[in-house]
Chains A and B, each alone.
Chain A
Amino acid sequence: MTTMTESAQPRPISFAFLAQIILIMNSFIMLYPVVVMVFSAFKTTGEIFEHPFALPDFTQVQNFARVLGETSMPTYFVNSIIVTGASIILILVLGTMAGYAVARYESRTNTFILLFFLAGLMLPLKLAVIPLFILLRDLNLLDSRWSLIVTYTAIGLPSAVFIMAGFLRSLPAELEDAARIDGASEPRIMWSVMLPLARPPMAIAAIQNAVPIWNDFFFPLVFIQTDSAKTLPQGLTTFMGEYTTDWGMLFAGLTIAAAPITLLYIALSRQFIQGMTAGAVK
């Protein structure tokens, strides 16, 4: 921003230099562990122990082949996609419905509805896991992907309501009024006039929720028992338990588990950062 004027003075140059060194060190600390993880995945356990920092032979892919071939990792991966995808869709549908009603229709109950969802935003559902567990058992959802989908939807819904309501409220009333004069029905106005404009907040709500859902471990730990319904983080603990002494396999498993979201993040870093910090940045 003001680097031009600064560089004219002698002292800020050393400041900028120091800042650069700190930033480079920090980025190194942030990235190097990930790099070691990936490198180790191409090594045998012996090589990891003898030469932990050496560059590996990148053609040595047998660890990856084994993780994908002889473990349930691919199943966990598919489950994570299904659970995250279904939860996000439900969050967006329900969140848009409530957000739209609150934002576009005057009602005495609006404050109540917003407070209701605000409470949901504050309360850590983790602590209600026992009753949730019993409820899911009574609904016969325990040990299925649905148990996770409904839980994640419940956790993500409040933030989606606020994001959607906040955005939809900012849209000018003229848009609706014009459509209303043309005789369009309320559902039609919502679907064809307003929602097409609401894609950016939807993307934010989706990313904000997708990352924590994709990464969650606690609820599957409690709700899911069958191997075929496990998601990636929980499946990873099973996997780590099975291959405890084979470090090459462990690092390959971690790399495979980390790869999809990391690559996606690198490709869409702006959207990720915006989405994930949306709750804390107003």
Chain B
Amino acid sequence: MPVSPKQARTLKHRSWVAFLVVPPIVFMSLFVVYPILSAFAYAFYEWRGLARGEFIGLANFREVLFGATMGPVVWNAFLHNVYALVALMIIQNGGGFFLAWLLYKEPFGFRFHRVAVFVPVVLSTIIVGFLWKLFLNPNFGIVNQALYSVGLDSLAKPWLGDSSTALGALILANAWHFIGFPTLVYLAGMQRIPSEIVEAARLDGTTEWQLLKGIVWPLVAPSTTILFTLLFIGAFNWFEIPYVMVGLDGSPFGTTDVLGLVFYRTAFGNQSASIQNFGQGSALATLLFLFIVVFASMLTLWLRRREIQF
């Protein structure tokens, strides 16, 4: 069939665009879309090791949410994820906002403090976890050693072994690791506030607190939205810090158990249980996944709307 020059051009043009677009899309389809869709499908089957068995409908979901064995474990872990989210929202994101406000004024040593607060962020979570595990060792770690050396013996504790402090210790280790991130995101947000607005407010004699509450906080709302969404996703995917610091069982007696650990134990087993259940693991992943997507989008929409109001 004869091809007109224009058609030839568009054909050539089209194949060029296709050449650009198709490989990335195929790649994403194969390694993201296909596994995620499969995860949904797998949850409806019974599994024997890595071999797929019978279609069993919602049985895996029922066991994960309400089963006598899995149900309590899952809800217990879920609660700990919620604790972590709330605590980190206050300590990590709230603390980050506060530090950003201090840095925003570019005080003496501004560059040093800015670099320092971000140092832990570039470290691997594994390094952070091991480091704090060693520091929190009840008899040899520097935390208790420091307390002993200043005479505060009564405050020294087996931090990771005491059910009243273990989860808190994990949360603080996480906050130490990541507080630099919200700090610098907020700082960037503040630095983009037109300086005339701040100047004008200052000339009007607004106090520091009014300035912060009435101008800075509303104007960095987009940062708040994105930081909260990231924290939300992170908190419900929490795995590395607990894994390294308290082990797969969420020791002591499940008081630090989180959904990430439950998922890993269920899907890949652990030494003391020997059972590996891909079906229930997939069901748990699917539920978590839906929870994250639904809540994260709702939150984003809600927080976005708030942004516009100001």
A–B contact via C-beta, under 8 angstroms: yes
Interface residues, chain A, with chain B CB atoms under 8 Å away: 1-3, 5-6, 12, 15-16, 19-20, 22-24, 26-27, 29-31, 33-34, 36-37, 48-49, 52-53, 94-95, 97-98, 100-102, 105, 107, 109, 113, 116-117, 120, 122-132, 134-135, 137, 150-151, 153-155, 157-158, 161, 186-187, 211, 214-215, 217-218, 222, 232-234, 236-237, 240, 247, 250-251, 254, 257-258, 261-262, 265-266, 269, 272-273, 276-277, 279-282
- Cα distance, A218 to B24, chains bound together (Å): 24
- Cα distance, A235 to B118, chains bound together (Å): 25
Contact A27 B113 (CB under 8 A): yes
Known interface pairs A3-B105, A33-B176, A98-B25. Does A236 touch B127 (Cβ–Cβ under 8 Å)?
Answer: yes
Among B42, B131, B208, B233, contact of A131 (Cβ-Cβ < 8 Å): B42
Known interface pairs A15-B208, A31-B116, A237-B126. Does A36 touch B107 (Cβ–Cβ under 8 Å)?
Answer: no
B63 contacts chain A at the CB level, 8 A cutoff: no
Contact A130 B285 (CB under 8 A): yes
Known interface pairs A30-B120, A33-B131. Does A236 touch B115 (Cβ–Cβ under 8 Å)?
Answer: no
Which of the candidate stretches B29-37, B73-81, B84-92, B159-167 sits at the interface with the other chain?
A: B29-37
Contact B123 A261 (CB under 8 A): yes
B181 contacts chain A at the CB level, 8 A cutoff: yes
Contact A272 B118 (CB under 8 A): yes
Among A52, A97, A130, A215, contact of B267 (Cβ-Cβ < 8 Å): A130
Among A23, A107, A127, A273, contact of B102 (Cβ-Cβ < 8 Å): A23
Task: Determine which residue in B105, B181, B267 has the highest number of CB atoms from chain A within 10 A of its CB, and name it.
Answer: B105
Closest to A18 in B: B102
B65 contacts chain A at the CB level, 8 A cutoff: no
- Extra 12 A-B pairs, beta carbons < 8 Å, given A33-B131, A237-B126: A3-B107, A36-B135, A94-B24, A97-B23, A127-B288, A128-B38, A134-B38, A135-B34, A150-B27, A217-B240, A277-B181, A277-B185
B299 contacts chain A at the CB level, 8 A cutoff: no
Closest to B19 in A: A97
Contact A218 B239 (CB under 8 A): yes
Q: Which residues of A contact B180 (CB under 8 A)?
A: 30
- Cα distance, A244 to B256, chains bound together (Å): 22
Contact A258 B35 (CB under 8 A): no
Known interface pairs A211-B122, A269-B118, A280-B223. Does A154 touch B31 (Cβ–Cβ under 8 Å)?
Answer: yes
Q: Which residues of B contact A109 (CB under 8 A)?
A: 21
- Cα distance, A116 to B35, chains bound together (Å): 15
Q: Mark B14-57, 1 if CB is under 8 A from A, else 0.
A: 00110111011101101111111011001000000010000000
B213 contacts chain A at the CB level, 8 A cutoff: no
Among A98, A132, A134, contact of B21 (Cβ-Cβ < 8 Å): A98
Closest to A187 in B: B16
Closest to B225 in A: A280
Q: Which residues of B contact A279 (CB under 8 A)?
A: 226
- Cα distance, A214 to B24, chains bound together (Å): 22
The 10 closest A-B CB pairs, nearest first, are A131-B38, A215-B124, A154-B31, A27-B116, A128-B35, A101-B20, A98-B24, A131-B35, A233-B126, A127-B285
Contact B124 A232 (CB under 8 A): yes
